[in-house]
Amino acid sequence: EGDEGDEGDDKKPAEKTTEEDDENNEDDEEMKGIPEFWLTAMSTHEHLSELIQEHDQDVLEYLVDVRTELLENNTSFRLSFVFSENPFFSNTVLYKTYNLDPLPESDEDLIYVGPIFRSTEGSEIEWFEGQDVTVKTTTHKQIKKKGKNAGQTRVVTKTEAQPSFFNFFSPPEVSEDEENPEVLQAASELLHHDYELGEVIRDQIIPKAILWFTGEAQDFDGEGMLDDEEEEEGDEEGDEALVRMFGGAKIGREGDDEDEDADDEENENDEEDPDWKPPANGGEKPPECNTN
């Protein structure tokens, strides 16, 4: 009997190990997620889609999560873009931080309008050699025309910046000594546009990522309300529904005044005609007026 009990005890740990392996495998599958989920979700948004270039798409296929967190003062926030291992850069997470001041811009302000945006900073991307999608490298052959080496050919390599989603992590910087008002104005506009993009990702993309992935969120703006044109179309459809429901009468909408005017005309027609005279035979009384 003791041996049988020992054999039973030996089998239980084996079963438990199998269950744990199954759970771990399920967790691994969940971590993999839907392929290109975040690339698709962000590409669906009209403002973010303008940032994502064709050469960015291969890189963003490795984006597996986007998160947001409040910082110490509860007004500044940080966006975290989590990447799986990829052939483009060594970072596993790229950060974008927005620094906001919770205090009014001036002590003389009578109305508090909310935190003031001060600055932003992003992660330095550690690109692998030849994989930086924020720059474009071109090569061309150049033939020397003069001198003792005339006729010789050399290869010239030129690197220049190009539009890329990953420029999002390199916000514009302005020197503290800069005094040119045009430069300061341009930098200010770029920074505030950058902040608006940060708000879009924090307030729209992250909390409604599934709707952006499926495309359903395109029917709504950032506040979850229909666009003006869609509202007008909705009003028209609502009017038609009211017409069908109430037999042609619109309630509380345009057209009520016309109905009132028609009623006024009918009332005017019901007024006594001063030239009217009763028939010679006195006219016939309606049945309900006969007392006999």
Nearest Cα neighbor of 175 from 184, 164, 163, 185 is 184
Find out whether 36 and 59 touch, Cβ atoms under 8 Å.
no
* Coil/strand/helix, residue 137: strand
Quote the DSSP letter at residue 251.
Answer: S
Q: Which ranges of the chain have pLDDT less than 50?
A: 1-2, 4-17, 24, 27-31, 222-228, 230-231, 234-235, 237-260
Q: What is the pLDDT of residue 202?
A: 96
Task: Give the distance from CA 21 to its chain's centroid.
Answer: 39
Q: What is the pLDDT of residue 189?
A: 87
**Beta carbons within 8 Å of 116's beta carbon, 6+ residues apart:** 100, 101, 103, 104, 105
Find out whether 88 and 59 touch, Cβ atoms under 8 Å.
yes
Report the DSSP beta bridge partners of residue 89.
Answer: 127
**Beta carbons within 8 Å of 170's beta carbon, 6+ residues apart:** 122, 134
Report the DSSP beta bridge partners of residue 78.
Answer: 69, 97
Q: What is the pLDDT of residue 93?
A: 98
- Cβ burial of 153 (10 Å; 0-12, 13-18, 19+) is exposed
Q: pTM for the full model?
A: 0.61
